[in-house]
Copies of this chain bind each other. A is one copy, B any other.
Amino acid sequence: MAAPSDDVQVLSAFFSMFGLRVLIALEHKGVPYKYIAENIVHKSRRLRQSNPVHKKIPVLLHNGKSICESLIIVQYIDETWPSLDKPSILPKDPYSCAIARFWADFVDKKAYDAGLLIIKSLPGVDREEAVKNFIEVIQTLDTALRDVSKGKPFFGGEHIGLVDVALAPFLCWFEAYETLGEFKIWEGSNCVHLQQWATDVMEYPSVKEALKIAHSDVIVECAYNMRSFYHGD
């Protein structure tokens, strides 16, 4: 439980899948926090000072100390505020922990870029390649979920764990990927486990609470703006 004197602030943006991870973890731990919306184009002095190396959101400010990089922040939250009524976000067993870190890292290395490729893609071969790559990433995650969860609803088991926290915000971008990529993610991808997970995780209380700021229709607009930006329109 956070001490009453704890000052917890999150510098982020409603559309940031990395920032939303931090909110999920804080909600999961029941830590009260102040959400501070940052402009990622015109970066505030606060953002530049609290993350001088990368100058990127999200940043967690805990009693004035800044922690950067979303997966590092999530682990910090997990270690700083022990769970009372549910398992920790990272499993205690070192091997399970390594497996969770591996898949969270996979989301960072493959899933984010796969989505970005779709947003940048124009109709034609590029688009086809981007959609094919995206489906492969989703299928890899579907297999991972099947192997890791062993029949339980989440990567973390009965409760959400690191991979669920890392991946759930990705779902907020699915409408944007489908709209801009002109395809349907679940049709033909045969990802039955991941599709059920997507339904379940969006109903998980801390995820639902954290992601309520991430409106899909506004994110679709953001994605169109990103595409224009990339193509210099």
Residues in A lying within 8 Å of B, measured CB to CB: 53, 62, 65, 67-69, 72-73, 75-76, 79-80, 94-95, 97-98, 101-102, 105-106, 140
Task: Give the residues in chain B near A65, CB-CB below 8 Å.
Answer: 95
Task: Give the residues in chain B near A102, CB-CB below 8 Å.
Answer: 53, 67-69, 72
Q: Are B106 and A67 in contact, with the CB atoms below 8 A?
A: no
Cα A140 to Cα B69 with chains together (Å): 17
Q: Are A80 and B94 in contact, with the CB atoms below 8 A?
A: yes
Q: Are A106 and B76 in contact, with the CB atoms below 8 A?
A: no
Task: Give the residues in chain B near A72, CB-CB below 8 Å.
Answer: 98, 101-102, 105
Q: Are A105 and B69 in contact, with the CB atoms below 8 A?
A: yes
Cα A73 to Cα B95 with chains together (Å): 10
Q: Are A94 and B69 in contact, with the CB atoms below 8 A?
A: no
Task: Give the residues in chain B near A105, CB-CB below 8 Å.
Answer: 69, 72
Number of copies: 2
Among A65, A98, A102, find the residue whose CB has the most chain B CB atoms closer than 10 A. Answer: A98
Cα A62 to Cα B76 with chains together (Å): 27
Pick the contact of A76: B53, B69, B79, B94 (CB < 8 A). Answer: B94
Taking A80-B94, A94-B80, A95-B65 as contacts, is the C-beta distance between A75 and B101 under 8 angstroms?
Answer: yes
Cα A69 to Cα B101 with chains together (Å): 9
Pick the contact of A67: B75, B80, B95, B140 (CB < 8 A). Answer: B95
Q: Are B76 and A97 in contact, with the CB atoms below 8 A?
A: yes
Cα A68 to Cα B104 with chains together (Å): 13
Closest to A81 in B: B94
Q: Are B140 and A53 in contact, with the CB atoms below 8 A?
A: yes
Cα A94 to Cα B94 with chains together (Å): 17
Pick the contact of A73: B53, B98, B106, B140 (CB < 8 A). Answer: B98
Pick the contact of A75: B53, B80, B98, B106 (CB < 8 A). Answer: B98
Cα A80 to Cα B93 with chains together (Å): 9
Cα A62 to Cα B72 with chains together (Å): 25
Task: Give the residues in chain B near A94, CB-CB below 8 Å.
Answer: 76, 79-80
